[in-house]
Amino acid sequence: MKDVSHHLVIVANRLPVDRVELADGSHTWRTSPGGLVTAIEPVMRHGDGVWIGWPGGVDVDVEPFTDNDMDLVPISMSAEDIEGFYEGFSNGTLWPIYHDLVAKPEFHREWWDSYVAVNQRFAEKAAEAADEGATVWVHDYQLQLVPQMLRTLRPDLRIGFYLHIPFPPAELFQQLPWRRQILEGLLGADLVGFQLPGAAQNFIRLVRQRVGHKTHRDLVYLPDGRTVRAAAFPISIDAAGLEELARSESVAARAAEIREALGNPRRVFLGIDRLDYTKGIYARLRAFGELLEEGHFDVEDAVFVQVAVPSREQVEQYRLLRDEIDRLVGRINGDHGRIGSPAISYLHSSYPREEMAALYRAADVMVVTPYRDGMNLVAKEYVACRYEGDGALVLSEFAGAAEELRQAWLVNPYDINGMKSALLEAYGADERERTRRMRAMRRQVTQHDVKAWAESFMTELADVGTHEKDVRPA
Ligand code: F6P
């Protein structure tokens, strides 16, 4: 690594690379799962900052290192940290509360203690890594206490926080026994960013009601004279970079190979998700299975490719979901598949960017149906890869992306019949209709890419508290 202190420090639960143990006891690094890494990586590549995070695994004690031109500072986690902080409070308590209670949250005081302790460790590492007056950008629900802890350690820093997932309505957030501590943790930042304006409004309302601070529009006035701003910054992707990859000859050849291997059906449906109960994978496959059952098409007309990236496999609800989907896929394939032509090609694995781009190119209908999702970058990635302006997107109304991609076939994932109609419409839509919708979506995605997202967040972060309007009214 070049130097020990930095002017920009990114703090996220995960590093962009994950250390994986191989069967022979050796290890390798692979890209970490999820949208956060997809978004932040291109931002980091163009800067000279440092990224602090967990390298995955238990007690992985590695020195700071450089990967792909990025300076990385690993934070090790013990088996107890993983159980209490990561699987417990982050993914067993916060994740379901922040996603509309799609699963039942659990509240355990030991999990909370672990969350506090691990957040403190991240804050201390960030305090060590930051130059005098540096900017620190903290990411996501796992680290909501870091802004306040870091401010106590280093009042000279400019601190931004960005939440990649939804922020719940007050009625749900209030269930948290530690609601006040979390709000105070976030208020350590100068700027708190959310995916959607509604989330920022939920936060401001909660701060007023629960912490009692004075607020005006998107500003919170703290008793010590500091101002905090809460606003929406819808996240995006490196659209140009992905399109360039999608246009490459090797990706085109691979896309043709995929279609061939699927038996060259008229239409290929595609789903790509982390295997998570918020993503609505079961409901969408059921809808597809019923369309086959009712004879709207058969496997020569349409097949479904579902990529389910393994995720949080030690958490009970994730294991149950995997079993349910395995059973459903087995049943649909048993009922409707033919030798060499399964109705659903189900892949429980993660793939490199090239393979994903080839899948996006091979798919006629992309199906993204979460019950609740902060943004969903897969929807934007599909649009970025369809440079010829064709292809259809079926998108849940409850994904943040639906606010921008209005020309998708929008669906309510709780309504199976509604979803079936949308899948059928997308399947049968003529070229003119598909192109009209896709062209409009492509304008949105190419004009609002991840670079624009990061720049607008950074500009606002540098600005908060510098205007007269930010000063607390008498
Ligand atoms: O984007 C939401 C998010 O939870 C990230 O914070 C996280 O890194 C990613 O999804 C993948 O989840 P996990 O880190 O638990 O594997």
ipTM: 0.95
Residue ranges lining ligand 1, Cβ < 6 Å: 13-14, 33-36, 140, 164-165, 311-312
Please report, to the nearest 10 degrees, the dihedral formed by the alpha carbons of residues 44, 50, 54, 55 taken in order.
70
- Closest residue by Cα to residue 445 from 391, 370, 369, 364: 391
CA distance 264 to 243: 24
* Burial zone of 306 (CB within 10 Å; 0-12 exposed, 13-18 middle, 19+ buried): buried
- Closest residue by Cα to residue 265 from 337, 341, 355: 341
User: Can you tell me which atom of ligand 1 is nearest the CA of 165?
Assistant: 2
Q: Give the gyration radius of the chain's Cα atoms.
A: 23
Is 2 in a helix, a strand, or coil? coil
Q: Using CA positions, which residue lies closest to atom 10 of ligand 1?
A: 34
User: Can you tell me which atom of ligand 1 is nearest the CA of 311?
Assistant: 16
Distance between Cα 54 and ligand 1 center (Å) = 12
Distance between Cα 288 and ligand 1 center (Å) = 28
CA distance 311 to 379: 19
pLDDT, one tens digit per residue, over 239-260 is 999 999 999 999 999 999 999 9
Q: pLDDT digit of tens for each residue in the chain (474 aa)?
A: 545 578 999 999 999 999 988 888 888 898 888 878 888 887 787 667 999 999 999 999 999 999 888 899 999 999 999 999 999 999 999 999 999 999 999 999 999 999 999 999 999 999 999 999 999 999 999 999 999 999 999 999 999 999 999 999 999 999 999 999 999 999 999 999 999 999 999 999 999 999 999 999 999 999 999 999 999 999 999 999 999 999 999 999 999 999 999 999 999 999 999 999 999 999 999 999 999 999 999 999 999 999 999 999 999 999 999 999 999 999 999 999 999 899 999 999 999 999 999 999 999 999 999 999 999 999 999 999 999 999 999 999 999 999 999 999 999 999 999 999 999 999 999 999 999 999 999 999 999 999 999 999 999 999 998 876 666 666
Q: Rounded to the nearest 5°, which phi and psi values hold at 258?
A: -65, -45
**Cβ 199 vs Cβ 163: under 8 Å:** yes
**Cβ 56 vs Cβ 14: under 8 Å:** yes
**Cβ 413 vs Cβ 400: under 8 Å:** no
Going 171 to 176 to 177 to 183, the CA torsion angle's sign is: negative
CA distance 392 to 384: 12
Out of 164, 235, 237, mutate this one to test ligand 1's pocket (max ligand atoms within 8 Å of CB): namely 164
Q: What is the 3-state secondary structure (H, E, C) of 42-81?
A: HHHHCCCCEEEEECCCCCCCCCCEEECCEEEEECCCCHHH
User: Can you tell me which atom of ligand 1 is nearest the CA of 141?
Assistant: 6
pLDDT, one tens digit per residue, over 420-461 is 999 999 999 999 999 999 999 999 999 999 999 999 999 999
User: Can you tell me which atom of ligand 1 is nearest the CA of 140?
Assistant: 6
Q: What is the pTM of this model?
A: 0.96
Largest Cα–Cα distance in the chain?
Answer: 76
